[in-house]
Structure 1
Amino acid sequence: MNGKRTLSLISASLAIGGLSLFMQTAQAQMGLPDAVKVPDGNKVMMETVGVGEITYECRDKVDAAGQTEWFFVGPKAVLNDRKGKAVGDYFGPPATWQARDGSKVTGTQVAVSPASKGDIPYQLVKANPADGTGAMQGVSYIQRTATKGGVAPASVCTAANKGEKQVVKYQADYIFWSAK
């Protein structure tokens, strides 16, 4: 092959790769409420499915004397890749995503948006710098989508059962983003 043709093939390949990345990023955002969309300038870095549980505790309502509510205590889930292989864990508080290589990231919630009835809301989190080197390095945002279950228990929370804990099963996609 001559140099010009090789350069043209490389340029075409890079253009297709860029289009593929654009399509992947656009597809990850399709159908999501605007509030939980990742800002432009980021790309999908890793996709996982979190399968686990959320613990709730019956406690006094903050700023509402004499009233009780189910309070979110924290999550515990295994993060699987799209083939079902465990690649990390999600736990808290604080909300922490940890890869099997030991690297981990925490973050600050930016937005939530309602999901289907009975499912925890979609969520967008701005990531803090990663702790440790590995898979979590460079994460800029974490998006929680495709949620199933996880809402507070339907059972009564009263002064009589204050302190009681209940564990609720849930599943959600956690999409990790990095700056382009």
Structure 2
Amino acid sequence: MEVPESVTVPKGNDVAMETVGVGKIKWACEAKDDGTMGWVFKGPDAALNDADGKQVGKYYGPPATWESMDGSKITGTQLAVEPNGKGNIPLQLVEANPAEGEGHMQGVTYVQRLNTQGGAAPEMACDDAHKDKVEIVMYQADYLFYKAM
């Protein structure tokens, strides 16, 4: 897969860990800031698995948190997103905050989300009749964790 420039990790960083996130995203039908009704992102809940399918961490929020099974974890600031087709959450580039705890997340500089499948806001109507309705949407995505070289 060719990675769009907007979500490309800056030079000087190398992949330290590759995982596949498998889980769900919670959406709620609520009034948005502009007063219109719409689906509002409420957060992820996913297992982070290695290439053999073994769980090595988890991804949850808010705030978006990637946590290794060794207890180390990071949050971050979203730098960019790129659409990835109907029904899929966007590709994403996040700059990591300093890690909490010692372990695999120590020194992570960026998190890149690629190969997204599913997870987008529900297609069903979000109006006064559906106010406060919560929908869970399954998804999968690759999460690549980078460290400075």
- Structure 1 residues 108-162: Cα deviation after superposition (integer angstroms, max 9, x where no partner): 0000001122111000000000000001001000000000000000111111211
Match of 1:159 in 2: 128
**2:33 counterpart of 1:50:** no
**2:144 counterpart of 1:175:** yes
The number of residues matched between the two structures is 149
Output the CA distance in 1 between the equivalents of 2:96 and 2:134.
Answer: 29
The one of 99, 103, 109 aligned to 1:134:
103
The one of 26, 34, 37 aligned to 2:5:
34
Output the CA distance in 2 between the equivalents of 1:113 and 1:166.
Answer: 23
Give the alignment of 1:77-92 within 5 angstroms. 77-92=46-61
What letter is aligned with 1:130?
Answer: A
Partner of 1:160, secondary structure, is helix
The Cα of 1:62 is off from its aligned counterpart by: 1.2
- Structure 1 residues 39-86: Cα deviation after superposition (integer angstroms, max 9, x where no partner): 0000000000000000000000212x3x20000000000000011000
Q: Which 5+ residue runs of structure 2 have no aligned equivalent?
A: none
**What's the TM-score once normalised by structure 1's chain length?**
0.81
Partner of 1:175, secondary structure, is strand
* Superposition misfits of 4+ residues, deviation over 4 angstroms: none
Output the CA distance in 1 between the equivalents of 2:78 and 2:131.
Answer: 28
Give the alignment of 1:111-130 within 5 angstroms. 111-130=80-99
Choose 153-162 or 127-136, whichever is displaced more: 153-162
Output the CA distance in 2 between the equivalents of 1:118 and 1:158.
Answer: 20
Of structures 1 and 2, the larger Rg is shown by: 1
Kindly report the root-mean-square deviation, in angstroms, between the aligned alpha carbons of the 2 structures: 0.8
Higher helix share: 1
